[in-house]
Amino acid sequence: MKKFLWFGSALLLCLSMVLTACRGGNNAESSGSVNNTEGSKESSDKKVKLSILSWNNEKEMTPVMEAFTKKYPNISFDFQTAPPVKDYIAKLQTMLLSDSATDIFIIAAENRNEVIDGGYALDITDQPFMSAMVDGNKPMLSKNGKTYAFTQTGWAGGLFYNKELFEKAGIAEIPNTWDEFIQDCLKLKAAGIIPLYDNMQDVTTIHNSLFANLQLSKDKDIDAKIFAGETTFSNTWTEVFKIWKKDLIDNKILTPDMIGLSGDQIVNEFALGNVAMFPGGPWNINTLEQTNPDLKFDMMPVPGPDPSGGNYFAGAPGVGFAVNAKTKYKDEALLFLQFLASPEGLKDFETGTGALITANGYEGKVHPAMMNAYKNGLMAGKVYLPMVSWPRHQEALRSQFVVSMQDLAVGKVKPEEVTQALDKKFKEMENK
Amino acid sequence: MVRLMRQLQFQIFILPILIVYTLFSIYPLIKSFVLSFTNFDGYTKAYDFVGLKNYDLIFSDDAIVSGMSYTLIFAFFSTMLITALAIPLALILDQRFYTSKLHRAIFFFPSIPSGLLLAYIWGFILAPISSGVFNKVLKELFNLGPQPWLSDPLLAKLSTIVVAAWASTGWHAVLYLAFLQSIPKDYYEAAAIDGANRWQQIRHITIPLLAPAMTISVMLLLTGGLKVFEIPFALTRGGPGFETHTITQVIVLRGISETQYGLASAMSIVFFLIVLLIAYFQVTFMQKREERNR
């Protein structure tokens, strides 16, 4: 018995020592607090190491962090990164739960509800630098009229198309209606060119655009109504899946074997001229130009079946930088956000990340291929992304969407069953 | 007292690994068990006790039923395939030939890189388009059109099992090789004098004496197969639909993506019990077989 007690005590002691060591320490090199953020004269007297968790990698963040450190030499960074989306969310979640989250982290569409509802992010609605954030970017990072993160970016995506392959198939101009789009795909097929690759591993740009054209254009609150129980996925999305199945799957423009393609393979195939179109965004441009500098490409929206609905791009505000509500370096963290919102910070962020800057009063660099998406999509408000528009259960619904869409592509279910599965998942999540 | 002190001297050496094991295995298991009776969402520390609700939901969940069937198929067939390939391979590698050591290293190599990395490479080889390496070879040799290796429900299952076998056969062959080299050569000499041919020697000496190795190898393969995640995830992401979703992937999906940690914890506990039960019966059965061979 004594042996057991001794052994148990030793085990407990060691466990408590290990757990204590595991507790996140602060990064202070000296303690103290700063109460103003404007210029922060006091903060310049003490050395602080701000911790950041971002899903931009270190290379992308270096220009803006270096410029900030140059301006505020007393503040240095403990930079951490995790790739988007799931890895980042899982890492941040672990950190938040174990009270070891970084001073600054990012909030994405996929985890905004949990982070904001959990009280993990500081309310920054009234910070002076928030005037740089465009109003269109605020709803995604806000709740009950309060904004919890700052974003200076937005993105728009559509269909990249190969101009030379279009010419080869006799397509003189990009399609403006859904029927023209399908006809052009068939023309490409007839010319021996693979019209389109889409690996159906996410809520696709085509689905986004079809839904926006058919439903959102008529009722901008349609998603809110689904989530309020006033309508259902079956009522609003079935038509989208019917059109997608009839025109793209049945015509073999999209084929089930594409499910096995990785995103990188699709980009490479497009860059090498083996496929005429693929859904993508600004993040693909560097790879396309590096893989094939001679490639002539542009981006177009997926044209909708309803001529009165207009054509939509996929798109959303970029992820937002938030300040940890429990940070000991609130002033310094806010100072960094203030720097991000300044013209200098915006330029450095643009240089490092290549992101589309949508901040007030800043004219960003836009790649010529992205100009249509930027002007007629992002800046015209003709972008839609369910993950942003759905107020809750985004990840659960996205997973169900992908699984059911793949089942539809391989002929296992009917369009009606896809939307019924979405309604079932929604109910399950509401009752969890 | 002296005896007690002497015993403690030895037991103190177990302490570090016991702490690590407790911290990273026992504690999470107990915590998962507790959380499986709650509606914990993974973000807020305040959660409610929901009784057996999560356990009730498990078997009405399409994803877990599908994940369970694919995981059992994967574990069973990958174990069979790897065992069927590893034993003959070990017999070949046991022969003395000029490059035998190099061959051992070559076959062992695929077990070194992570499963994720291997699966990404195999993703390019099995790409369903005409530029996929395997499809190119089929086109050149047999003039066959591109095959949907990773997107047809049956081919996707087959592909994941074959890639797993490719990655693990060498490792298990080396395990068998170690046991093969411990079989005294006298047995073979005596059998040869009695007129036994090579096949009879393998059938009556090698295979029975490899039984302990088979028990270990099959147990590792079965438990590893049941816990599989990386290879199917990186190759097919679980698709098409739920066709190649593994149980672990469903647990991650329900827990992390859908913030249903309570439900995911209940799934983990049930899964743990299933693995425990299968491993227990497999080891008991194979140990009895070993005893029969003695």
Residue ranges and CATH numbers for the domains of chain A are 27-151+318-361 (3.40.190.10), 155-316+372-430 (3.40.190.10)
Element (H, E) at A157: strand A153-162
Question: Which residues 33-52 of A have a C-beta within 8 angstroms of B?
Answer: none
A306 touches B: beta carbon within 8 Å = no
CB A203 within 8 A of CB A398: yes
Tokens of A129: 């630098």
Task: Give the mutation candidate from B41, B259, B263 for the A interface (greatest A CB count, under 10 A).
Answer: B259
**Cα–Cα distance, A149 to A321 (Å, whole number):** 5
Contact B22 A15 (CB under 8 A): yes
Task: Give the mutation candidate from A257, A272, A406 for the B interface (greatest B CB count, under 10 A).
Answer: A257
Residue A415: partners with Cβ closer than 8 Å, 6 or more residues away? A238, A241, A242, A244, A245, A408
**Cα–Cα distance, B95 to B45 (Å, whole number):** 60
**Cα–Cα distance, A99 to A120 (Å, whole number):** 10
Chain A residues close to B50, C-beta within 8 Å = none
What are the pLDDT digits (tens) for B11-24?
888 889 999 999 99
Chain A residues close to B41, C-beta within 8 Å = 114
- Minimum Cα–Cα distance from A92: chain B residue: B43
> Nearest C-alpha of chain A: how many angstroms from B237?
8
Query: What does each of the 432 residues of chain A score in pLDDT, given as a tens digit?
Result: 444 444 444 444 444 444 444 443 344 443 333 344 444 444 556 899 999 999 888 888 999 999 999 999 999 999 999 888 778 988 998 899 888 999 999 999 888 888 998 899 999 999 999 999 988 888 889 988 999 999 999 889 999 999 999 999 999 999 999 999 999 999 999 999 999 999 998 899 999 999 999 999 999 899 999 999 999 999 999 999 999 999 999 999 999 989 888 888 899 999 999 999 999 998 888 889 999 999 999 999 999 999 999 999 999 889 999 999 999 999 999 999 999 999 999 999 998 888 889 898 888 888 999 999 988 888 888 999 998 889 888 888 998 999 999 999 999 999 999 999 999 999 988 887
The beta-carbon neighbor of B241 closest among A117, A201, A407 is A407
CB A212 within 8 A of CB A312: yes
Domain extents for chain B? 34-293
Compute the 3-state secondary structure of chain B and give helix, strand, coil in percent, each to the nearest 5: 75, 0, 25
Tokens of A228: 């309020």
What is the structure's pLDDT at A14? 44
What is the structure's pLDDT at A23? 41
Question: Which residue type does A279 have?
Answer: P
Nearest to B257 by CA among B42, B15, B86: B42
> Nearest C-alpha of chain A: how many angstroms from B19?
7
Task: Give the mutation candidate from B38, B64, B258 for the A interface (greatest A CB count, under 10 A).
Answer: B258
Given CA atoms A373, A378, A383, A386 in this order, what sign does their dihedral have? positive
Contact A93 B146 (CB under 8 A): no
What is the structure's pLDDT at A427? 93
Quick check: helix, strand or coil at residue A45?
A: helix
> Nearest C-alpha of chain B: how many angstroms from A17?
11
Q: Tell whether pTM > 0.95.
A: no
- Minimum Cα–Cα distance from A201: chain B residue: B237
Contact A97 B43 (CB under 8 A): yes
**Cα–Cα distance, B112 to B120 (Å, whole number):** 15
What's CA A396's distance to the chain center, in Å? 16
**Cα–Cα distance, A287 to A281 (Å, whole number):** 11
Nearest to A313 by CA among A156, A109, A207, A153: A156
Chain B residues close to A86, C-beta within 8 Å = 256-257
Q: What is the signed CA dihedral for B265, B269, B270, B272, rounded to 10 degrees?
A: 130
Contact B129 A257 (CB under 8 A): yes
Tokens of A18: 């290990």
Tokens of B98: 């000029």
A427 touches B: beta carbon within 8 Å = no
Tokens of A187: 């023309």
The CATH superfamily label for domain B34-293 reads MetI-like (1.10.3720.10)
ipTM of the complex: 0.77
Note every long-range contact of A111-119, with CB atoms under 8 Å and residues 24 or more positions apart, other chains counting: A112/A140, A112/A141, A112/A148, A112/A149, A113/A143, A113/A391, A113/A392, A113/A394, A114/B41, A114/B42, A114/B43, A114/B259, A115/A148, A115/A322, A115/B43, A116/A143, A116/A148, A117/A143, A117/B43, A117/B44, A118/B43, A118/B44, A119/A325
Residue B282: partners with Cβ closer than 8 Å, 6 or more residues away? B218, B219, B222
- Minimum Cα–Cα distance from B256: chain A residue: A90
**Cα–Cα distance, A256 to A87 (Å, whole number):** 27
Contact B8 A257 (CB under 8 A): no
A7 touches B: beta carbon within 8 Å = yes
Spans of chain B below 50 pLDDT: none
**Cα–Cα distance, B40 to B48 (Å, whole number):** 7
Contact A410 B8 (CB under 8 A): no
Nearest to A51 by CA among A126, A9, A105: A105
Q: Give first-to-last CA distance, chain B, whole Å.
A: 43
Omega before residue B240 within 30° of 0, cis = yes
